[in-house]
Every structure is written in C-alpha cells, then in structure tokens.
Amino acid sequence: MSAIPANLKYLESHEWARAEADGTVTVGISDHAQNALGDLVFVEVPEVGAVLTKGAAAAVVESVKAASDVYTPVSGEVVATNDALKGSPELVNQDPYGEGWLFKIKPSNPAELDTLLDAAAYGKVVEAEH
Amino acid sequence: MHEPLIFTHSRAGRRAAGQYPREVEAKVPEHLRRKRPAALPEVSELQAVRHFTRLSQLNFSIDTHFYPLGSCTMKYNPRACNELAMLPGFLARHPLAPENLSQGFLACLYELQEMLKEVTGMKGVSLTPMAGAQGEFAGVAMIRAYHRARGDHERTEIIVPDAAHGTNPATATMCGCTVIEIPSLPNGDIDLDALKQALGPKTAGIMLTNPSTLGVFERNIREVARLVHEAGGLLYYDGANLNAILGKVRPGDMGFDVIHMNLHKTFSTPHGGGGPGSGAVGVGERLLPFLPVPIAAKEGERYRWLDERDLPQTIGRLSAFMGNAGVLLRAYVYMRMLGREGMHRVADFAALNANYLLARLRAEGFDAAYPERRASHEFIITLKRQAKELGVNAMDFAKRLLDYGFHAPTTYFPLLVPECLLIEPTETEAKEDLDAFVAAMVAIQREAEQDAAKVKGAPYTLPVRRLDDVRAAKQLDLAYVEPEQGA
Amino acid sequence: MPFIPHTEADVREMLATIGAPSIEALFEEIPAELRTRELTGIPPALNEMEIARLMHERAQQDGTPLNFIGAGAYDHHIPSAVWAIVTRGEFYSAYTPYQAEASQGTLQLLYEYQTMMTRLTGMQVSNASLYDGASALAEAALMAVRAHRRSKSARILVPATVNPTYRQVAHTITEGQRLSFDVVPYEPALGTFDPKRLAQYEGQDITAVVIQQPNFFGLFEDVDAITDWAHANGALVIAVVNPLSLALLKPPGEWGTKGVDIVVGDGQPLGVPLSSGGPYFGFMTTRMEHVRQMPGRIIGRTVDLDGKPGYTLTLQAREQHIRRSKATSNICTNQGLLVTAATIYMSIMGAEGLERVAATSQQQTTALVEALTRIPGVTLAFDGLRFHEAVLRLDRPVAPLLAALAERGIVGGYDLSRHYPELGHALLVCATEKRTDEDIARYAGALAELLKSA
C-alpha cells in the first residue's frame, strides 16, 4: 500500500498539492506514482516565472521505461523549483512528499484547491487501478 | 566472452597503409585548418577485422537464432537478395546519374512499384520513404495535403487506437495534427461507439494496423471505413503487419486510402541491427497527386523519374535522393522469387506457424491474451498470472529465453496487455524450431515454479548479465574517454 | 516453395494441433467478400538462377560509366574488409538491440561509432544515426526549436549555399510544425555566404542558423564569423558537414568562440557505396546539455549485475515507443548496417587515412578543374580554395552536354540550372581519390570534342 497523507490534495493523474502558510502551493507526485514509474532517472521542472493554467503539463518525470507529464493542480505562476532533483532524481522515489517536491506555484485562483481530491477520494482512484 | 573497445587496440603510428592513396598536401586556409587529428583508432587491418568479427559474434541474429520478435517479422533474409543488390552496376551508380544511364535500375524500381500496387490494391506507389516511420509521415502528410487542397483546413485530428505503435501518435504530432486515442474492446476489435464519438468535422483520418498489434484481424474494418469516410476522413493503413495478410486480403479492398509498407519486414530486407528500413507508400485515387517524389515512371520502353514538375501537388521530398535504393532492390529480388504463386504462401505459413505455436503454448498452460480469437501472424501470451503467483514477469522469461538460445519475443508491447510477450514466428521457421521454443518456455515455467530467483537472475550464459539501465540513464557515458585523458 | 520449410506431414500435424481443418480456415475472421483473388499483376516466380540472370542484365545494362558527380554522394574507395564484415549474418540479420544482452556486438559497435563521431566533429555526444543527411537537417531544425526554449519564432536562417535538396527535405518534414526557413542569398561573385548579410536580422528572434561547410559549391564558408554572429544574437548554430572533410578542417565544435550547437551530415563518404542513392546514414552530434532533445537511438555504457561493463540503449524515454505523441521524433530505426560500415571504415583508415583520402580528392578536383577550364567555352565560376567540388560555367546549356557525355560513358557532373538559374549554364563537378589523371584526361578530351563540334 502506498502512502497517501491526509493533509494533501490530489489530482486523479497522481499529483499532490500542499497549501503553504505563505500562500504558495507545493506540487509533487504521489507515492503511488513514483512506485509505478520505478527508479526515476530525470526530472524536468518548469521555468521559474512560467504562468500555467490548471491542468497544463508543467513537469516531466522520467524512468528508464516511462515518461510522464506532471500537470499543475492549480493555475498560477511558478515561484520555485526543486533544483536538487537535477542531480538526484531519486529524491522523488525516496521522499515523494518531502525532499522530492517538484515546484511551487503562486495560485492565481486559490479556490481551485477546493476542487481537488482529498486523501480518501484519491485512495479510491489508486485502488481502482489495481 | 568480452572484446575490448577498438580504442584500446590503438597504438600511435600503426596504420592500414595498403588502403591509403598517395600522400599529397591539402590546401586549406590557415584559420579553417584542423589543428589536431581526430583521435580515431590506429590499428592494423587484421586488428580491425578481428575486432569487428568478434563483436559480430556477440549478437543474436536470424542467421544464428530463432528470433520471434513480435511486430518485427524476423524472417529469413535470402542471401541472393543481398548479392544481387550489390552488383557493381547498381553499387557504383551515382544517384544523380542521367536517366539514359539508369534504365536497368529504374526498370527494377518501376516493376517493384507495380508489384506493390498489386499486392496492396492501391493506385500509386512511391518508394522514397526511408523507414516505416517516414512512410507513416508521408501518409499523414498526404492526408493533410488532401484536406488542405480542398480548403478543408479544420481537419487536423488523427484518430489512433490505444494499441497502436508509438510511431503513429508521434507521426501525427510531427505532421501538426492532434491525436485522439480510442480504446479497443476486450476481444481486440475497435470500440465502434468510441470511434463514432471521436469522428467529426475535425477528423483528418484514422491510423490503423490490421491485423492489429494485438495479433487479431479487425473484423469490423468495412464498418470502420464507412464511418470514417462518411465523416469526411481518410484511412491510413500501418503496414507493420502486412505479412499476416499478404495475398489474402488487400488494404485497398478493405477501404484504406493510404498505406505504408515495411519492406524490411514483409519483403525480407535485412534489419541490419536496426536499419536500414524502407517504408514505401501506396495510395488510392484521391491521394495520387500528393505522393512524395521522385517516382519511377515508364513511357513506352523508357523509364524516367517523376518529380515536382510532374506532380506539382506532391508533399515533397523525404530524402536527399530517392530513398534506400539498395533496400528496394533487395525487396524486388525477393518479390520476383516469391512470384504470383508465392505471395499468399507467406501469409499462409506465417499464420500456420503462429497458430500452431499458440496452440502448443496454451496446451502447456500459458495464457493467451485473446483466447477466443484466431492468431494472425503473431499472438500475445500474458504472464500476469506468473508475475502475481511466482513473482516472475515477462522480462524475466524473456531474459531466460536468451540462455536457452532463443531471441526473446517483444516484451511489454502492446502497452495495454499486462506482462505480455508478443510472439511472431514468421513463415520461414520449421516445426522443430517452434517445438524447441515451446520446450524452452515449459522449462522456464518449471524453473519459475521451483526456483524463481534463478529465472529472475537470467541471463547467465551471454556476454553480459542483466545491465543496469538506471545507471546508464543517470550517469551518462555515451562516448569513450581514454583513461589518461579522463584522469 | 521458396523459403518455406514445411513438409506436407508437418502441415497435417500442425493443423491437427491447432484443431483447424485447413490453412484456409485460419483466415476465417477475414470477411469473405474482401478476400483477394489471384494476383494477376505479379509475374510468376523465378528461381535464384533466373533472377540472378535478370539482375546481372539489369546491372550491366547501363555500363560502368566514369563518375564526376558529387552533390552529396561521393565515390570513394572502400576497403574490401568493410563489407565482408558488414554482411556477416550476425550484423546483417540482427535487429534493433532491444535485448541488450543478446546484442552486445551491435551495441558496442554503436558506442564506438558515437565516440568516433564526437571526436571527428569536436562535440560531446552523438546519436546512433538518422536516415540520411537531408532528413538529419530536418531533425536538427526541429531539435533546435525544442532546445532553444527562449526563442518562440521557430525561424531558421539558411544560406542558399546549403544543399538545395536538403533544404527541400527539411521543409517537407518540418512544415507541419510551422518551422520557417529564411533562405539568405550568397555572394554571386564569390559563391560563398557573406556573414554581413546577417546584419538585417539583428535584434530579431531567430531560433537557429544553418551553415554548410564546405558549401554546396565545394567552397569554404567563414564559419567562425557566422557562428559568433548567431550566438551573439541568441540563435543556435546547426552545422552541415561532410565527415571526410573534417580530417582537414577545423571541427564544428571549434567554430567561432563557442563552437556550434548541433552537427549533422551524411555519413556516406565513410565506407558506404553510392548504391544508386542509398541506403546511406545521417549523423548528428551535439552538446551534452541538449542530449535529451536529440532524436534517434543513443547507446550508453553501464555495468551488469556482476559489475562488468556492457552497453545498452539509453535515454529511451525521449523516443516514440515510450513518449508516443510527445516524442522528440517519430524515428524508430537508425541506419545500423551503414553505421557498421562507417565504424569499420574509420577504424581501418584512421585519422591519417581519412586525411589522405580528403587531400587526394582535393588534389584530383584541382586537376580536373585545370583540365576542363583549358577547354574554350569552360570557365571556373568561383575562385579561391575549395574541397573536392567546383562550379564550372559553360557557354551553352548543360543538359544536352551531359546527355552526350553519358553516351560516351561519362557522368559529367550535376546540372545547377534548376536550383541556381542565376548561375547560367553552370555545372557542379567532383573528383575523388578514385579519379586518376587518365580518367580526367578522358573527360577533358570528350568535353573538348563536344564543345568543338557544336
């Protein structure tokens, strides 16, 4: 069973979003997603300053056998990216909800967060895939 | 067995002098002159011959091993095709030599076009695409050009079934089209309801492989053709699996408007360790004006090239000259040797071998992905049960097969069948070889039941054991650096 | 039945195992009304003896003319060892090395090839080849657009001295993705591209600049100035080169102050016969920072479970079989067998051998130009140093002359009138190390006679 922290919001396409105290939203991929992909060998993060609409392809996570787009769960401007992934993509495998975060976005419409799945709903999505 | 890199055989000043023209001084402006020679190997001719001969011996190939790689049609490559395509008259001919010095070559190409038209039921053929993927590109580009020529600029969507080869959606993207994916039914046929929903005023066309990559014939093909044509779209036939139906049913008769053929599959030109291929395209009436150039034509008893001046609406050129000429000559020789009476035998015996192998594997307890369907020239075994119960997956079976002296079937394609092996024996394999393959599969199954770790650790008898692909992708080592330079 | 091993007993036994009454029954899922009847358009089968007879006749039909055309395909000597090894079944009849452990021969060879190409071009990484030089330019243009994220124009500058067919192919292949190629004129008196012509583009969003060296006329371009201009103006540089010429010329990795970004070309001069137009192979090398945007197969060195070095396909997530509609290209095969030839050729010849071939080709072209321009009515179009091709101006239309030369067994050059009408009656000629002084004298004699007679 993969970990699905209760304090996060999710997309059906396996991204997680965390509302930070400073108003930004941190985005990563779920434990289930990193598990399904296997050892990551490369992560492409968006450029800081990029303005994205909810659901747009924002990053790419790549393993030996697969490459997946990562969609942004909310619209807004990218304010930070996880530079540590450049040399160590395995951080996503080791700590998907912590050190393995992908980017931070300043939401243009924070209400979009409420449209995302909660942990229980996302758990059902993961279960349905088995 | 291990062969060091050619660079480690190199010694300063060693050379294959017998190959050198006499020494003369080059005249190059000083600022453009190369300062240091490129660090290419300095070896004797024998060292080079021995090195590359040894490397060749590290390969599996059709000439040495049964190679049932699904979707790739690894049939015997007759030696005559090679020898006759490499006759000095063809080999020394410059591609831009005038037509009056190209009549023998053009005659072969023209007749090849005519034969390909006949076996596919198409109205015109261009031989210029240099690989299957380029043939696909030509096909979709022609579909685009057709709609554009009619002022129908909105048609930019290409429908692709989820079982399609990755080249189909990649090609559609290259042509500036949007890809609409539709699902397959559990029995392997296209979901007609999903197709109907996908069709509309933006539909440029649909790309289909038939038999599909699931190894089954699309039974509703005429209905599919009717629906797509009614919606104003065209049908593209991916010829990857043409071997299955050669001489039995023609894509043109099924309703397709354009087809690419992989001459390196169906018409037995060599795969060469990954190319060259050849992706000749055929078209129906509507797409004739858009064919890529050049095309061989016959006027009276003379042959000539058709180019942009003859086909002003052509999609253009895809190669610097006329495509992979030497591959085309090999395919020509092969088709002439099969002849009228031999074409359908290809499909006959490809289907016999595939269905026999499937029947025998099922009798030994393996699971067919589409048990209620006839196999075409290939079929899918799923090892989902073995993966779940024994922890031994399709990749493990594939690697262990290498130890038993068989090239592995295609693994993990098509993507929608879990733990799959796509197996294509081809018509040129004898029954004993198929039986030996079944025996190996049975032996591996037994090993998996008794000692799964053994299968998971395979292969053991090849030049290397399983390779660290993750390291290969993370610590990129794509070109050799001599230790003294790298230190 | 050619190539089918089944005996009647085999067929009976196999059908019994399947549980089918006949082979025909295996096709029952194909609707009956679609089934093919006899293929009357296909001639009856020939056995090997018969097809060999026919092919020998066809191959000999046009004789063995003396060749003086280059224009992208060059008639060099190929050591016998090259194709003797290439056509070994283990290389010839293997496929793409998906099962790395069973394909170490092909994989190691490709790694050696990649190494040689990076060294020859002065770049960091090479792919395992593309289809040919022309399609490689198209792929380079598409790659430049992906790699140059800041440039939004997808606009590429191409001097008119770049092979015109390459430009046509690049247009055909990239048109769907809305790339635009701005063809920039050359200096009609010099036959080369003047970097000053780029001034009009200053301050504009240009994705890349293409430079061909030596250019289509065989002349040397001012590659340093063009490269530096492009980089100063935020554009990438794509070099189109003849790999053989790099034995003499500064590699593109050293052009200008920073070197170019992508190098492409046709590998045919490296051990691949003219073969009526193919198969050849395209090569591509680039900087490490762009490796993930590079199309085509790439081989990497890694280790196996026991820590022993081995070779494998890597960075496959760029490719169509994984990335599907978002792949870097739809390319699937490379030109493996031709790369095998080139790798063996480069190993046998070494850098010095390539240099000798290049220098001798240059010298024989100089001799050819001297011999032909002594004929009244023939002049040299452009002065200056050149590699192994030259543009001659004739006093009358080229096409009828070429036809008349062909009747004398001489392929006299490439008629430039279609792609370069401004040059008048212009002919592109080439001599390689294979053209002897006697060959040149024969050509000069025939041409002199033809020009005199009219």
Statement: residue B367 has pLDDT above 50: yes
B-facing residues of C in 432-451 (CB < 8 A) are 433
Which residue shows structure tokens 């040894």?
A: B54
pLDDT of residue C333: 77
Q: Where are the domains of chain C?
A: 66-77+351-453, 80-344
Range with the lowest mean pLDDT among A63-67, B224-228, B303-307, B445-449? A63-67
Tens digit of each residue's pLDDT (9 = 90 or more) over B31-45:
999 999 999 999 999
pLDDT of residue B252: 96
pLDDT of residue A130: 65
Residue B137 located in a structural domain: yes
Greater confidence (C97 vs C325) lies with C97
Tens digit of each residue's pLDDT (9 = 90 or more) over C258-285:
999 999 999 999 999 999 999 999 999 9
Residue B455 located in a structural domain: no
pLDDT of residue A1: 62
Chains with at least 3 CB pairs less than 8 angstroms from chain C: A, B
Range C66-77+351-453: architecture per CATH: Alpha-Beta Complex (3.90)
Tens digit of each residue's pLDDT (9 = 90 or more) over B188-247:
899 999 999 999 999 999 999 999 999 899 999 999 999 999 999 999 999 999 999 999
pLDDT of residue C454: 57
C-alpha span between B145 and C153 (Å, rounded): 24
What is the domain extent for residue B247? 80-338
Contact at 8 Å (CB) between C238 and C206?
no
pLDDT of residue C377: 96
Q: Can you give the pTM of this predicted structure?
A: 0.96
Tens digit of each residue's pLDDT (9 = 90 or more) over C379-435:
999 999 999 999 999 999 999 999 999 999 999 999 999 999 999 999 999 999 999
pLDDT of residue B479: 98
**Mean pLDDT along residues C88-100:** 95
Tens digit of each residue's pLDDT (9 = 90 or more) over C107-131:
999 999 999 999 999 999 999 999 9
Tens digit of each residue's pLDDT (9 = 90 or more) over B297-351:
999 999 999 999 999 999 999 999 999 999 999 999 999 999 999 999 999 999 9
**DSSP code per residue over B385-400:** HHHHHHS--HHHHHHH
Residue B44 located in a structural domain: no
Give the chain C residue nearest A67 (alpha carbons): C317
Statement: residue C453 has pLDDT above 80: no
Which residues in chain A have their CB less than 8 angstroms from residue B472's CB?
64
Residue A20 located in a structural domain: yes
As separate numbers, helices (DSSP H) first and strands (DSSP E) second, chain A gives: 4, 9
Mean pLDDT of chain B: 96
Give me the number of domains chain A comprises: 1
Secondary structure string (H, E, C) spanning chain C: CCCCCCCHHHHHHHHHHHCCCCCHHHHCCCCHHHECCCCCCCCCCCCHHHHHHHHHHHHHHCCCCEECCCCCCCCCCCCHHHHHHHCCHHHHCCCCCCCHHHEHHHHHHHHHHHHHHHHHHCCCEECCCECCHHHHHHHHHHHHHHHCCCCCCCEEEEECCCCHHHHHHHHHHHHHHCCEEEEECCCCCCCCCCHHHHHHHCCCCCCEEEEEECCCCCECCCHHHHHHHHHHCCCEEEEEECHHHHHCECCHHHCCCCCCCEEEEECCCCCCCCHHHCCCCEEEEECHHHHHHCCCCCEEEEEECCCCEEEEECCHHHCHHHHHHHCCCCCCCCCHHHHHHHHHHHHHHHHHHHHHHHHHHHHHHHHHHHHHHCCCCEEECCCCCECCEEEEEECCCHHHHHHHHHHCCEECCEECCCCCHHHCCEEEEECCCCCCHHHHHHHHHHHHHHHHHC
Which residues in chain B have their CB less than 8 angstroms from residue C95's CB?
67, 69, 72, 74, 271, 273-274
Tens digit of each residue's pLDDT (9 = 90 or more) over B415-429:
889 999 999 999 999
Binning pLDDT at 50, 70 and 90, where does residue B79 land?
A: very high
What is the domain extent for residue A22? 9-118
**Do the Cβ atoms of A89 and B474 come within 8 Å?**
yes
Statement: residue B485 has pLDDT above 60: no
Residue B433 located in a structural domain: no
pLDDT of residue B486: 44
Q: What CATH number corresponds to the domain at position B163?
A: 3.40.640.10
Interface test with A, best of C316, C320, C321 (most A CBs within 10 A): C316
**Do the Cβ atoms of C69 and B467 come within 8 Å?**
no
Q: How far is B388 from chain C (nearest CA, A)?
A: 24
Binning pLDDT at 50, 70 and 90, where does residue C82 land?
A: very high
**Do the Cβ atoms of A64 and B412 come within 8 Å?**
no
Q: How far is A114 from chain C (nearest CA, A)?
A: 31
pLDDT of residue B22: 87
Q: Is B153 on the interface with C (CB under 8 A)?
A: no
Q: What CATH number corresponds to the domain at position A66?
A: 2.40.50.100
Closest CA to B152 of B216, B81, B233, B94: B233
Binning pLDDT at 50, 70 and 90, where does residue C320 land?
A: confident
- Cβ neighbours of residue C373 closer than 8 Å, sequence gap 6 or more: C379, C380, C392
Statement: residue A73 has pLDDT above 70: yes
**Mean pLDDT along residues B275-290:** 97
pLDDT of residue C149: 85
Which residues in chain B have their CB less than 8 angstroms from residue C172's CB?
141, 292, 315-318
Statement: residue B468 has pLDDT above 90: yes
Statement: residue A129 has pLDDT above 80: no
Give the chain B residue nearest A64 (alpha carbons): B470
**Mean pLDDT along residues B153-182:** 93
**Mean pLDDT along residues A103-125:** 94
Burial class (CB in 10 A: 0-12, 13-18, 19+), C437: exposed
Residue A129 located in a structural domain: no
pLDDT of residue C334: 84
Residue B121 located in a structural domain: yes
Residue A32 located in a structural domain: yes
Give me the number of domains chain B comprises: 1
Interface test with B, best of A39, A62, A85 (most B CBs within 10 A): A39
Residue A130 located in a structural domain: no
pLDDT of residue B487: 40
pLDDT of residue C323: 79
| Token pair listed for C68 | 């003086």
Range C80-344: architecture per CATH: 3-Layer(aba) Sandwich (3.40)
What percentage of chain C carries pLDDT values higher than 70?
Answer: 100
C-alpha distances in Å from residue C356, one per residue of C87, C249, C327: 27, 13, 41
